[in-house]
Amino acid sequence: MHMPRIHWGAGVALVYAAFACGTLGFVGFAIAHPVELVGADYYARSLAHDARMAATARADGLGDLFTCVPSGDGRALIVTTRGRASAAPVTGSLTLYRPSDVRADRTLPFAPDARGVQRVSIEGLARGRWVLQLQWRAQGLAYYHEQHVVVP
């Protein structure tokens, strides 16, 4: 049997067509999947990076002040302050940051009770990894602490 030969021009056209189809397929794939940045205001956050690092260093210098654990019923996170953080009234903001979906982020006031405990409802939150971000001010200085939390 004799195998038919493909003309070199037809071979070039087939390679070019395969490349074009692959490129169009990838472009379609890329357009169908949303690209989420860390936050809508990522540029403004990058400008305040040095201040955030100083606030983090101040919080780290105070020691292990915060714990965050799921409640027994699994409907809330229990944020507890201890040591020097619970000696004075602590106020600020508490953000539940979802790295995979910026639209799921929640920001709440951080105001623990007299015992240094705040219960944060996790009703409606997606299961998985979240980052708890605490920001507060004391005596004119800013403090910042992050803790990874897994929502059951």
Query: 14 CB contacts (<8 Å, ≥6 apart)?
Result: 6
Q: Are residues 26 and 66 in the same domain?
A: no
Q: What is the CATH number of the domain that holds 100?
A: 2.60.40.3760
19-36 pLDDT, tens digit per residue, is: 999 999 999 998 888 766
88-127 pLDDT, tens digit per residue, is: 566 789 999 888 777 888 899 988 887 888 888 888 888 8
Q: Are residues 23 and 47 in the same domain?
A: no
For the chain, what is the domain count?
Answer: 2
60 is in which domain, residue-wise? 42-151
Instruction: Give percent of the chain above pLDDT 90.
Output: 17
> Where do the H-state alpha helices sit in the chain?
8-32, 42-47, 49-61, 84-87
